[in-house]
A and B are shown apart, each in its own frame.
Chain A
Amino acid sequence: MAYSEKVIEHAENPRNVGTLDKNDPNVGTGLVGAPACGDVMRLQIKVGDDGIIQDARFKTFGCGSAIASSSLATEWIKGKTLDEAEAIKNDRIVEELNLPPVKIHCSVLAEDAIKTAIADYRSKQAARKAAETK
């Protein structure tokens, strides 16, 4: 199956590959995937005090489409508020990367990773606030 040019471009030059300190209270980590199918995706966000995503990093093991989807996701969420990032739908990734139907699950994983990272960040912040008010 042929990959679209955009998938190849992202897969060959993935943006924002790497790791953020998962113990940093301003970092949210989303770990998703289907290991049985060879896909594991980690997406991390670093959120500023203004609630804007300052940085995003990912690490994906899987096919080119999975790598491209997460690479694109990190590009898109940087500079966005949490609510804006959370509103990103997988169809936009499908559209941008011209993903064929059999690779749509890769874009679903990327959307899921964004949401899981945001949820992790929010639960960390809530825990911190709860600890402060005690």
Chain B
Amino acid sequence: MNPFEVLGFSPGYDIAADQLARRHRELSKVLHPDKFTGSGGGERREALSRAVEVNEAFRILRDPVRRAEAIFSLSGIAVGETNEPKASPDFLMEAMEQREALEDAKASGDTAAVRALGDGIAAQTTRVVEELGQGFASAQGDAEKLRALLPLLGKLRYARRFQEELEALLEES
């Protein structure tokens, strides 16, 4: 499935969230089962399966990680841990420092420090999303240039994972 096609977007990383939500709403309305009560079984099933596709496409496109994965896959570039390049030393260093800072904050019960780490990682996510947007735009489908963007996908996954951990921690406290 090409999620961009399903929701009527041209393939690209920068998609406005409100526009995406609107398109999803419109299509869901058109495909709603209530609109097909008088139709034949075939048509009803068809509408239902399209509605399922629309929902799945929406979930993919609103998620920055899955949206990037979709663009890579559509360009024939395999994603996933074993297909992506190893983390760079700088990235590893950064991740190690953040992990250690979190460990210290946990040990001392310093909620403010956890929050500060969360703010830092949120800013990091925004930066990586911007970089990816620019990268995808300037790559224009060139496989070599696209491959060079794979490390950013790894960073985005890491940032999201770390953020989720921080949020879970803050909920507990």
Interface of B, secondary structure class, is helix
A38 to B89, CA, bound (A): 16
Say yes or no for B93: interface residue by CB 8 A criterion.
yes
Contact in complex: A33, B161 (CB < 8 Å) = no
Interface of A, secondary structure class, is strand
B95 contact set on A, CB distance < 8 A = 33, 35, 40
A42 contact set on B, CB distance < 8 A = 96
Residue pairs across A and B with CB atoms within 8 Å: the count is 41
B residues at A contact (CB < 8 Å): 81, 84, 86-87, 89, 91-93, 95-96, 99-100, 103, 154-155, 157-158, 161
Nearest-neighbor residue (CB-CB) of A62 within chain B = B99
Contact in complex: B158, A31 (CB < 8 Å) = no
B155 contact set on A, CB distance < 8 A = 35-36
| 16 A-B pairs with C-beta separation under 8 A | A31-B92, A34-B87, A34-B154, A35-B92, A35-B155, A36-B154, A36-B157, A36-B158, A36-B161, A37-B81, A38-B161, A40-B99, A42-B96, A59-B96, A61-B99, A61-B103
A36 to B42, CA, bound (A): 44
B89 contact set on A, CB distance < 8 A = 31
Contact in complex: A40, B96 (CB < 8 Å) = yes
A34 contact set on B, CB distance < 8 A = 81, 86-87, 154
Interface-central residue, B93, B99, B100, B155, by most chain A CB under 10 Å: B99
Say yes or no for A110: interface residue by CB 8 A criterion.
no
